[in-house]
Structure 1
Amino acid sequence: MAQHFLLSSQAKTLTLAKVARMSAEEAYDTFRLIRWVKTAGEPVCPICGGVECYTFTTRKLFKCKACQKQFSVTSGTIFASRKLPIRDYLLAIAIFVNGAKGYAALQLSRDLGVAYQTAFVLSHKLREAVAAEQMVKEQLSGHVEVDGAYFGGHVRPENRKEDRKDRRRAENQTGKRRVVVVMRERQGRTMPLVFKSEAVSVPVIFNHVRHDATVYADEATHWDALHARFLTKRINHQEAYSTDEACTNQAESFFSRLRRAEIGIHHHISGKYLSAYASEMAWREDNRRISNGEQYLATTAAALNHPVSRIWKGYWQRQKSQQGI
């Protein structure tokens, strides 16, 4: 029997001990090399793109000769206005990618010795960075599987049988339940999107999948509209999960990973952040056959190439002001 990739030595090329033992200077040099890889670590102004810069000897800052602006190795990135040491960010990234089914913010806060709020925002910043890499502009092509699954909006049943209501009916729902619709190329990319229902996702699928692709879906009636645009093959799950003609097993594999993250790692995913968690799981699913060292470098590069987050910068300060605290 062949060994699973995650159990092989090829999957483990990075250890947390190696990152934790980095000196402050080694961590700083690593950030420089990953951020400015095209110039071999030489600074490039994030404001005007100038490559001629002064280097301060007393502080780790640069000054652009063209626009005269000062910047650091994290300026203009998702780590802008940082408060933690650079080594802690590298360690957080290594911990994040090692979580095959995701990583809880509470556990990350204990690992790094920081407040839960800090770990929560840092985790979401990393999700935003990898999601930007995941949501490519090119349309999906080839053989594309389409399916949807509902998450969140749990309605707790009443204790006594006579007090219980049919939780499947719309009037007994909380309004928080959302469906994740995934479009997944076979042996290719995974693109998840969040909607209130599967039916409203059809026009979006038209925009994200090439018209010459072959689409696979189940027998839900709202997927009937796919026949007007694509060569569509359907599978009736009441009869079989897979046939020679069609299956949606790759889409179901993605939902399995997301469901395990929700139940086993995070225990609860808020509807407004469901898209972030879905994009993270899509990234993990697409990169499950590369080593953790490659995942670490890819995530660090994505974070250092991603602009300042307009959602997560000052998140807790905005929450407090909205609550009048």
Structure 2
Amino acid sequence: MPQHFLLSKKYRDTSLHRLLRMTDEELFDFVKKLKFGNGKEIPCTRCGAIDTHPFIKRRKGWKCKHCTREFSLTSGTVWADMKLPLSKLIMIIYQFCTSANGISAVQVSTDAEVAYKTAWVVMHKLREVIARTIDTSLMEGEVHVDGGHFGGKPRSGQFRPSNKARYAAAAEKLAGKTQGIKRRGISKANFERKKRNRRIVMVVRQVAPAEGANRTRVFLSSGENEAVAKYIAKHCIANGSLVRTDENKAYDSYKQFFTHQTVEHSKEYSTIDGVNNNQAESFFSRLRRCEYGTTHRMQAAYMIDYANEMAWKEDWRRKSVKEKLINLLESSFHVGFSRWWRGYWQGYRRNDEMLIA
């Protein structure tokens, strides 16, 4: 039986132990090489002039020969104006990369010895980097599409209604036990809260033969309807592709543009002919484990950020730790300033939910 990739030596090409043993100078050189390469001439992040700018050792930065302004490794990036030591930033990114179902900001704040709000913003900046570097080219070949409900899950009533007639048979069958009897329904206030926080995460996954899905895109919507399905068809899938969905009528229009196959999930997970959308279900499994086991709840305003994180983890599941770490670091250096989290604690907030419909 082949070994799982996460258990292989190839996956473990770097470790937190190794990163913690690196000196500040070694970490600085590692990040500098990723951002500027090995050359002595580097670009000024202020004016763009490429030259051998003098290095200011005390401030761990450079002074541009042309505009005379100082700049550092984090200037002009999502980490601009950050006061977090480089060692702690690398540690947080490592934890972010290696947690299969995500990691809570509480745990990160404890391990990195930073305030909770610092850990929370750093992790959301990483999610922003992922969202802004998504491959938006059209998917081809076999594509799986589905929608899943997330958020808005208040508890049911406290007491078990064992005295009601419709539950009497269940109670008798269980010989007096109450573990199998349903609780009474949720209150009207809880039901309204559930509707207010409930959203649909739409996932589109391109399938590679014998490898599973190799590309994932996610969207947030208020419902799994025809308008959402047409938006996905237009912006994500190339005409003529083989698209597999469930039996939802929202996808009826796909017959006009794609080879459309469906599976009726109320009866089966896969048809006798092998028609399924298991790659979409696989993504939902990871996102649901993140919601239930890591974050415990997802606010509607930030649900798309968590969905993008899980999509990235799915696509990079067969990459080594070092490859994932380098990918996130390099991407964070090339997307510019943070659009959503720079000045968050000073009141600059992203107010919309980024819904597609």
Query: Which deviates the most, 280-289 or 194-203?
Result: 194-203
Residues 227 and 20 (structure 1 numbering): CA distance in 2 closer, same or farther, change over 3 Å? same
Residues 211 and 317 (structure 1 numbering): CA distance in 2 closer, same or farther, change over 3 Å? same
**Residue 70 (structure 1) shift:** 2.6
**Residue 317 (structure 1) shift:** 2.2
CA distance in 2, matches of 1:319, 1:47: 23
Q: 2:231 matched to which residue of 1?
A: 204
**Residue 287 (structure 1) shift:** 0.6
Matches within 5 A, 1:1-325: 1-37=1-37, 40=39, 42-57=41-56, 58-133=58-133, 135-160=134-159, 161=161, 164-165=185-186, 173-187=194-208, 188-199=214-225, 200-205=227-232, 206-243=234-271, 244-318=273-347
**Deviations, residues 127-168 of structure 1 (Å, cap 9, x unaligned):** 1112223x213111111100000100123323355973598x
User: Retained in 2: the 8 A contact 1:32–1:41?
Assistant: no
TM-score (norm 2): 0.83
Unaligned segments of structure 1, at least 5 residues: none
User: Retained in 2: the 8 A contact 1:151–1:180?
Assistant: yes
User: Retained in 2: the 8 A contact 1:166–1:172?
Assistant: no
Aligned residues: 318
Indicate the structure (1 or 2) with the bigger Cα radius of gyration: 2
**Residue 171 (structure 1) shift:** 6.0
Query: Which deviates the most, 63-72 or 201-210?
Result: 63-72
Equivalent position amino acid for 2:139 in 1: L
**Residue 306 (structure 1) shift:** 2.2
Equivalent position amino acid for 1:158 in 2: G
**Residue 245 (structure 1) shift:** 4.9
User: Retained in 1: the 8 A contact 2:157–2:187?
Assistant: no
Q: Secondary structure at the match of 1:184?
A: strand
Query: Which deviates the most, 307-316 or 277-286?
Result: 307-316
Unaligned segments of structure 2, at least 5 residues: 165-183, 209-213, 352-357
**Residue 53 (structure 1) shift:** 4.5
CA distance in 2, matches of 1:215, 1:65: 56
CA distance in 1, matches of 2:186, 2:291: 25
CA distance in 2, matches of 1:220, 1:255: 17
